[in-house]
Amino acid sequence: MKVELISIGDELLIGQTVNTNASWIGEQLAERGLLVHLSTTIRDVENDIIQSIDAGIKRSDVVIITGGLGPTKDDITKKTLCKYFESEQELNREVLERVEFFFESREKEMLEVNVQQAYLPKKALVLNNLVGTASGMWFEKDGKVVISLPGVPYEMKDILLREGFPMLLEKFSVKELYSKTIYLQVIGEAFLADRLAELENQLAAKEVKLAYLPSTGMLRLRFNGKKSDEVVFEIKKSIELIKKEIPVHFYAEYNISLSEVLGKELVHQKKTLATIESCTGGAIAKEIVRIPGSSAYFQGSVVSYNEVVKQNLVHVNEDTIIEYGVVSEEVVKEMAEKGKELLNVDYCVSTTGVAGPDSDGINKVGLIWIGIATNKRTFAKRFHFGNDRERNIQSAVLTALNMLRCELFEIKT
């Protein structure tokens, strides 16, 4: 069974609005075992709309259209659908009453253009809009279904969740999909692809697809296959295998951030945390504080961007800086240790390095030391990220949080 999406609206094509409707519908359908095979964004132009619907009906079983149902002049989807399906419009009294009530309850005046929204094509089933004034429509032709929905996200979602999806699932009985995504902290996807090559071949033999979805410092791995006991077993087994093989990188099997994983564990262990940041400039603290409830474990941070601040506020010995240089294992460890005392915490994370784009004259751009002081030990690691300042900072943030995660969960690195 093939589903395709058509999003109507100039604002989507010229980038004034990001098309989150298409991704939401795609995700919701995938969860129901229905895969979108094509998604098209077109202008508010009659000819383009007609061509797209016609092509859609020929190649897909279901065509879901969003946009162009508002009361203004540039909204021509309903009129165009009537033309394509050769259907007249008639006043739908039930819809009119709802639109009238919509305006009454908001103490707003109802205009003639709003009355027009209660005129609907005779050949369509009405999909009721309980949160707005533009009704959804369900057309059928040669066993194919065309659904038209308003582009306002919460109206579109409400109509699909309440009426559209259940009706689709009833009309087409399809084989369900099984999909799982795991979350890894990792710099560079290639080394992982290499490491998982064998597993990937095994999965391919069972018709399970593996997708790599990278972002800076992160990688999501998605498993996808037609639902069967065998496929579910294979996917679960593979995830267990990866978990065991690379526990240093694997941090979640559902959608949760690294800072949230840490937060939960710190609360669980009743431990506290602080950061002393140089090259990351508060970015680790920011990522920790982003999580609601972080005040339970996060005490604070000193951003010792300047060398003098490192000495005066964090009390790093001037001698250490002179002897080893400010970007060094010795300094980053002393930062973590002194920070742990200063902020009176169980764990203190520290950073020092060259974020770029210019070198400090001594060290290469992208060279960053990360240190951790705990109640048991102090240690540090050296990393070499890339040339882009913001990506280096983001990579250092996620790498530092991941080092702390390994320490908290006692994972050997």
Exposure pattern of 357-394 as b/e (b: 16+ CB <10 Å)?
Answer: eeebeebebbbbbbbbbbeeebbbeebebeebbebbbb
Does the footprint of a second copy cover residue 302 (CB under 8 A)? yes
Judged by CB under 8 A, the stretch of 77-85, 121-129, 227-235, 337-345 that binds a second copy is 337-345
Among 1, 17, 180, 232, binds a second copy (CB under 8 A): 17
Does the footprint of a second copy cover residue 257 (CB under 8 A)? no
Does the footprint of a second copy cover residue 27 (CB under 8 A)? yes
CA–CA gap between residue 335 and residue 349 (Å, rounded): 8
CA–CA gap between residue 116 and residue 135 (Å, rounded): 11
Nearest approach, Cβ of residue 120 and a second copy (Å): 18
Among 91, 161, 213, 256, binds a second copy (CB under 8 A): 213
Does the footprint of a second copy cover residue 214 (CB under 8 A)? yes
Among 208, 303, 373, 398, binds a second copy (CB under 8 A): 303
CA–CA gap between residue 376 and residue 3 (Å, rounded): 57
Does the footprint of a second copy cover residue 167 (CB under 8 A)? no
Asked if residue 183 lies in contact with residue 252, where contact means CB atoms within 8 angstroms, the answer is yes
Hey, which residues between 103 and 142 contact a second copy (CB under 8 A)? 105-109, 111, 113-114, 131
Does the footprint of a second copy cover residue 391 (CB under 8 A)? yes
Number of residues located near a second copy, criterion CB under 8 A: 110
Does the footprint of a second copy cover residue 265 (CB under 8 A)? no
Contacting residues for 25 by C-beta, under 8 A, at least 6 apart = 5, 36, 64, 66, 156, 160
Nearest approach, Cβ of residue 193 and a second copy (Å): 5
Q: Which helix (H) or strand (E) covers residue 249, if one does?
A: none
Does the footprint of a second copy cover residue 35 (CB under 8 A)? yes
- For 149, the token pair is 């929905």
Judged by CB under 8 A, the stretch of 244-252, 302-310, 326-334, 399-407 that binds a second copy is 302-310
**Alpha-carbon dihedral angle through residues 240, 241, 246, 247, given to the nearest 10 degrees:** 30
Among 124, 288, 396, 403, binds a second copy (CB under 8 A): 288
Hey, which residues between 56 and 85 contact a second copy (CB under 8 A)? 70-74
CB nearer to a second copy: pick between 87 and 189: 189
Does the footprint of a second copy cover residue 176 (CB under 8 A)? no
Nearest approach, Cβ of residue 69 and a second copy (Å): 13
Does the footprint of a second copy cover residue 325 (CB under 8 A)? no
Asked if residue 149 lies in contact with residue 159, where contact means CB atoms within 8 angstroms, the answer is yes
Q: Output 24-30 pairs: Cβ under 8 A, ≥24 positions apart.
A: 24/153, 24/157, 25/64, 25/66, 25/156, 25/160, 28/160, 28/161, 28/165, 29/3, 29/165, 30/177, 30/179
